[in-house]
Amino acid sequence: MAEHGTQPSSLRYALEAAGIRALFRLLGLLPADVASDFGGWVGRTLGPRLGGNAKVLRNLEQAMPQLDAAARRRVARDCWDNLVRTLAEYPHLKTISREWEQRVELIGAEHVRGLVTDGKPGVILTGHFGNWELVAMTVFKCGATMTAIYRAPNNPSVDKLLAEARGELGTTLVPKGRASAKGILAAMRAGGILGILADQKLNEGIAVPFLGRDAMTGTIAGDVVVRHGAVVVPVRVTRKPKGARFRIEAFPPMELPAPTGDRPADIRAITVAVNQLLERWVLDNPGQWLWTHRRWPK
């Protein structure tokens, strides 16, 4: 029975990985800006026709009720544009790194560098905005190294392919699970920097308001602040209108609620502050956030 259940999955995974690798090679033959613009066109054209667009529109209707139907459709189209551009840019991360000064407007680099010199463990806090992969590259360009927790794809071959593409990021990637707990502890004890994408649903987290509704939210940032005295520096990526070009902002360390000695309450208060920050970013530019996430309960 196990063999019958395993073989189709293995074949499907192999075909999936081969298709993605072939696509990456084709996109890699294009100039970076052309690949990005092509991805944007595909996203704008096909995204609104996919079944997943209903989830995007439903999320927008519930999170941003002030928008009318036409405005929600525009934001959804921009969301698909940004998502597929980001995918199309994976084969060009090396180009973006090599042409960093021409492609990236970086503001607040001193705040990232401060995490290296302050003698404390640090957190780079971000979400799925613009091309979020460039947050890790930003840290590397600022002369620091980072441990990032990520959700590995179900397909191990795709995971390997993405790891190859992310080789330019200068980051230690730790898959979510048991290994992540060890990676977090090691980074904090060494006074290192932990990278957190804080806008994903995490069933093991706690229910905290996000855009008007409770959302299951991870508490890693709050936990390392309370347990290890970590300093949290938010970093946001904003995509510029055409091509693989970006504005990246590193903000001063977050001013977090003062500790009370009640660890669960303190962690919750920090998690609330994190969600409030990400909420402001979403409202600033909703088309550059990843609305395809199943962020809230049904």
Cα 97 to the center of its chain, rounded Å: 18
Q: How confident is the model at residue 7 (pLDDT cuts 50, 70, 90)?
A: low
Q: How confident is the model at residue 1 (pLDDT cuts 50, 70, 90)?
A: very low
**What is the C-alpha to C-alpha distance for residues 111 and 231, in angstroms, rounded to an integer?**
10
How do residues 75-128 score in pLDDT, each as one tens digit?
A: 999 999 999 999 999 999 999 999 999 999 999 999 999 999 988 999 999 999
Task: Give 255's DSSP letter.
Answer: -
Pair type for strands 201-210 and 213-217:
antiparallel
How do residues 265-293 score in pLDDT, each as one tens digit?
A: 999 999 999 999 999 999 999 999 999 98
Angle between helices 69-88 and 53-63 (to 10 degrees): 130
How do residues 162-199 score in pLDDT, each as one tens digit?
A: 888 888 777 888 877 666 788 888 888 888 999 999 99
- Beta partners for residue 248, in sequence order: 106, 237
Do 82 and 240 form a contact (C-beta atoms < 8 A)?
Answer: no
Which pair of tokens denotes residue 67?
């928008």
Do 215 and 208 form a contact (C-beta atoms < 8 A)?
Answer: yes
Pair type for strands 193-197 and 231-239:
unpaired
Identify the CA nearest to 230 among candidates 198, 189, 269, 264. Answer: 189
Give the three-class secondary structure for 204.
strand
> Is residue 215 scored above 90 in pLDDT?
yes
> Is residue 27 scored above 70 in pLDDT?
yes
What integer is the mean pLDDT of 247-265? 96
Q: Quick check: pTM over 0.85?
A: yes
Which pair of tokens denotes residue 243?
């091509």
Do 247 and 108 form a contact (C-beta atoms < 8 A)?
Answer: no
Could you give the C-alpha distances from 24 to 138, 150, 222, in angstroms and in order?
23, 21, 37
Do 165 and 90 form a contact (C-beta atoms < 8 A)?
Answer: yes
> HSE of 295 in the Cβ direction (CA atoms, 13 Å)?
29
How do residues 66-81 score in pLDDT, each as one tens digit?
A: 999 999 999 999 999 9
Cβ of 201: how many Cβ atoms within 10 Å? 15
**What is the C-alpha to C-alpha distance for residues 255 and 242, in angstroms, rounded to an integer?**
34
Question: pLDDT value at position 182?
Answer: 82
User: What would you report as the CA-atom Rg of the chain, rounded to the nearest whole angstrom?
Assistant: 19
**Which of 35-49, 163-177, 205-219, 254-268 has the weakest average pLDDT?**
163-177
Q: Phi and psi (nearest 5°) for 269?
A: -60, -40
